[in-house]
Amino acid sequence: MNDSEMLELVCARAWPPVVDEPLGDWRLRWADGFTGRANSALAVGDPGRSVAAALTAVCDFAHDRGIPPVAQVIQDSATERAVAAAGWREWTEHAAGHEVSVLVGPLPAGPAQDAEILDEPTTAWWELAADSPSPGAAERHVLSTGKVGYGVVDVDDVDDAAGVTAGAVRGAIVDGWLHVSRLAVRPEFRRRGLASALMSALAGWGRAHGAERWVLQVAVDNEGALKLYSALGCTEHHRYRYWGPGPGACEDPQS
């Protein structure tokens, strides 16, 4: 496998779906619809059959579990050309953005700022990272399986002496990489350096757990986040895109 494919496997391990079935080197993934990554086939490596036959297996798996058939494919790869040739098309319906930049960089060595990285998620962390204070089983599985750090940053609040959690981030350690995800700052607290503080604290946590580099997956149209990560020394390693079946490429036998 090439570097991009190896890095995709690292990212996949940092984001474990509830169901993860091998299809040769490819992975068929399901997590009750929570995130594109955990509910798409990772089309990396050799599926052990033709790409067209592998895509049929992707369709069957998705239909059995009630999710749309989607493949996550490294952009401009031979696999992507084969997926297009099989009658699939870019899955632009993906709300979070179907084209994603995978960024890497060395962990900066600055002092941790006012954010902290917890060993267990708090209710406020779930609220920010999963959009719900009481997430379902699939969200909990994806976000809290593995060696995970739960970053939070609190700010003073006039109505609450304990302060309010204004931002959160998730970090996962895989093979010397720190995989960063779910960075979010409440809209009313943005552009005050809170995301930067979270990233700085997370970098320290990552170094303490043996990581030397971080890896992030960012939708290519998320200009604010890309600017933030670029300022932290991250550069693009490769891109991936989500693909779905074109008309007639994936009939559901149930419908």
Ligand X SMILES: CC(C)(COP(=O)(O)OP(=O)(O)OC[C@H]1O[C@@H](n2cnc3c(N)ncnc32)[C@H](O)[C@@H]1OP(=O)(O)O)[C@@H](O)C(=O)NCCC(=O)NCCS
Nearer to ligand X, 178 or 218 (CB): 218
Nearest to 171 by CA among 196, 143, 194: 143
196 touches ligand X by CB under 6 A: yes
- 80: tokens are 């992507």
Looking up tokens 């990489």 gives 177
Helix axis angle, 223-231 relative to 194-208, nearest 10°?
50
Is the Cβ of residue 89 or residue 227 nearer to ligand X in the bound state? Answer: 227
| DSSP reduced 3-state for 116 | strand
> Which residue number, 118 or 219, has a Cβ lying nearer to ligand X?
219
The correct pick among 1, 227, 233, 246 for binding ligand X (CB under 6 A) is: 227
Q: Which of 185, 201, 203, 250 binds ligand X (CB under 6 A)?
A: 185
228 binding ligand X? (CB under 6 A): yes
Which residues are bridge partners to 238 per DSSP? 102
Of 67, 145, 222, 249, the one binding ligand X (CB under 6 A) is 222
Q: Which stretch binds ligand X (CB under 6 A): 35-43, 170-178, 181-189, 245-253?
A: 181-189
Identity of the residue, 23 or 185, whose beta carbon is nearer to ligand X in the bound complex? 185
Site for ligand X, residues 120 to 159, rule: CB under 6 A: none
Q: Which of 13, 49, 190, 209 binds ligand X (CB under 6 A)?
A: 190
183 touches ligand X (CB under 6 A) = yes
Distance (Å, whole) CA 71 – CA 36: 9
If the CB atoms of residues 220 and 249 are measured against ligand X, the closer one turns out to be 220
Q: 175-187: b or e for each residue (b if 16 or more CB lie within 10 Å)?
A: eebbbbbbbbbee
224 scored as a contact of ligand X (CB under 6 A): yes
Q: Least distance in Å: CB of 35 to ligand X? A: 12
Rounded Cα–Cα distance for residues 63 and 203 (Å):
40
Kindly give, in sequence order, each residue whose CB lies less than 8 Å from that of residue 219, ignoring residues fewer than 6 positions away: 96, 97, 99, 100, 101
Q: Which residue type, as a one-letter code, is found at position 212?
A: E
Site size toward ligand X (CB under 6 A) is: 18
Least spacing, CB of residue 194 vs ligand X, in Å: 4
Stretch that binds ligand X, among 41-49, 55-63, 108-116, 186-194 (CB under 6 A): 186-194
Q: Which residue has the tokens 């002092």?
A: 111
The residue count of the chain comes to: 255
User: Least distance (Å) from ligand X to the CB of residue 218?
Assistant: 4
- Residue from 113, 193, 209, 249 touching ligand X (CB under 6 A): that is 193
Measured distance CA(83)–CA(77) in Å, rounded: 10
Q: Give the pair of three-digit tokens for residue 177.
A: 């990489």
Nearest of 63, 1, 72 to residue 36 by alpha carbon: 72
> What is the binding site for ligand X (CB under 6 A)?
183-185, 190-196, 218, 222-225, 227-228, 231
